[in-house]
Structure 1
Amino acid sequence: MSIYKVLGLMSGTSLDGLDMAYCHIWEENGHWNFDIKQTKDIPYSDEMRNYLKNAIYLSEPDHAQLHQDYGKWLGEQSKQFIDELEEEIDFIASHGHTSHHRPEDGITFQLGDGQVLANTCGKQVVCDFRTKDVSLKGQGAPLVPIGDRLLFHEFDFCLNLGGISNISFENNGERIAYDIGMANMPLNYITHQLGLSYDENGELARSGSLDHDLLKKLNSLEYYCSPHPKSTGYEWFTSKVVPLIDASSGTHADKLHTLIHHNCEQVAFSVRKHGNKPTSRLLATGGGALNQFFMDILQEKLGPTIELVIPDKILIEYKEALVFALMGVLRLEGKINVLRSVTGAIQDSCSGEVFFPISD
């Protein structure tokens, strides 16, 4: 039994920072197992956050420069974390940070040059997990469901509440997953207007009232009627959702309150649509699972037959970094790590580019 010692790196659409998870991953008796040994979160500076947020608008040369600069920064953060661990690692699995994602045009791009990252930290790197799937006519997203299937198979549904919300589940022997819609992205958009990083436990949202007109408009967005597989991101949010939020005359608290109700209604609708058992268990992770008001409303909307399971804080915050570590292991073992049933690609794939450090 080989135990892989992997550092998983994740930067999501919420732009709050870099999640780093040092994991042990191994296969035993046909089942994959994991142990998250140590974690670290590196918050982005305002400069870095704005740089990444506006990467979509950069010229080609400036975007290429950011790709290298961010790869170097990832390498520096990884090296510092590895030095703190005082333990050898086998390799780094990096998601990077998505700057462009238009799979319908065959385009996806994750910032963080793998070769620069490898050179900077002196370790083997596996990264760029989306491009191959998009070249196979897939959405290139979501990718985490391979981890849901292999590491969290005891749950009927796995829900991730990051910047956006996505769900995965088994259906007739196939893993199905898609982006439901929004989670923290619109909440952060509103709290940032108040000079807050986030709404602690959803207390501000809890104090608000429902804006029925805004709720109706949000629930009527065309994306929700689209069949899966489907994925969404920052472009959809800014073009379709922000104008509705800005047009509302409600207070900031009212908008937060309404958006949480909207998010939970869409999640509950997706779960009920695919549930086929008298009772089900749903695992919730991602930053949204730390928002108590969000979780209270979600359980209310799910109803008594669906158990909402909220794991420990480490798994809530670092599950995605863990899954990218697993995807790196599967890539090096030549095993499938991206599922066509999830992305809509013409075939399953073993995805990811491998880079070895090159010394000067």
Structure 2
Amino acid sequence: MKNIGITALGMYAPQRVVHNQEFESRLGIEAGWIESRSGIRQRRFASDTEFTSTLGVKAVQDMLSRDPEALRDVDLVVYATCTPDAMFPSTAALVAGQVGLAGVGAYDLSTACSGFVYGLSMARGMILGGGAKKVLVLGGETLSKALDQNDRDTAILFGDGAGCAVVGEVPEGYGLQDFVLGADSAGGPALYISNLATTFPDGTPMRETPTMNGREVFKFAVRVLGDSGAQVLEKSGLTNAEVDWLVPHQANIRIIEAAAQRFGIPMQKTVINLDRYGNTSAGTIPLALHEAVNDGRIKDGQQLLLVAFGGGLSWAACTLKWWAGTPTLSPQNSPEEIDA
């Protein structure tokens, strides 16, 4: 069987930096309270002319700036997002048309924050099944455009950003190993964004903006991150002691700490960047993965565990042996902070 893994990475975060102090003055929520409860100090918001496709294109351009051949033989594009530019054409197709991949297969994947790990699974399956040679997987959001900025429960948590990965054949002993994917729509009312429907199938009303029951989501997240992570480690024949790096969905520092404790994986081996980006939904894992590879924390041959949960309610986990043949990454130019 072919060994399938990540062969290139890219990321983009909008230039506008929104600090907690903005919510302190506008919503009356203390900046220090936001950080203590969520772990978030700041997040990025897209400009009026930036959308989810824009962020995806810029993430791909970031990747190509280091590896101009990264997209060679890519014949499928998958974009994980819950904030697409339009219902159709797909945001994946919009990105493909702007990065030299017009005409390849392209589709959007909607499992919210779990989407990037779902996308890696879809890519691996397509390649092993002969449906694609290489796949460009993106995860990104412009949630700032969908949020009710006066909703104290959600406005402080979410940000914008995108990451991308090319999935293709890697040397023996490396690459994506096993996956656990799941969803339970019974929990949908706890975390959702409505579209055409005005109610859930059981008649529960829907709101038009992102809506979250924080207490229920916290309990769900801690449980499914722990369960799915344990399940995928068992499928891979691994123990938690063999995990070099845990790369979790960046939703809330307390959720991550609780999940890491359940795994028995110390926080020193857990990749964290939500303090600077907030919750970018499908963008969090590729952003965190990119940064940890970029700064040298993740090295050749190290064992990774990726875990995520999201609206749906959904969850996803995978094991991955990192291949350092991925082109050397250089730090992204730090954008000048622009007052929110």
> TM-score if structure 1 supplies the norm length?
0.32
> Which protein is richer in helix relative to its size?
1
Q: Which has the larger radius of gyration?
A: 1
> TM-score if structure 2 supplies the norm length?
0.33
| Greater RCO structure (CA 8 Å; 6+ sep) | 2
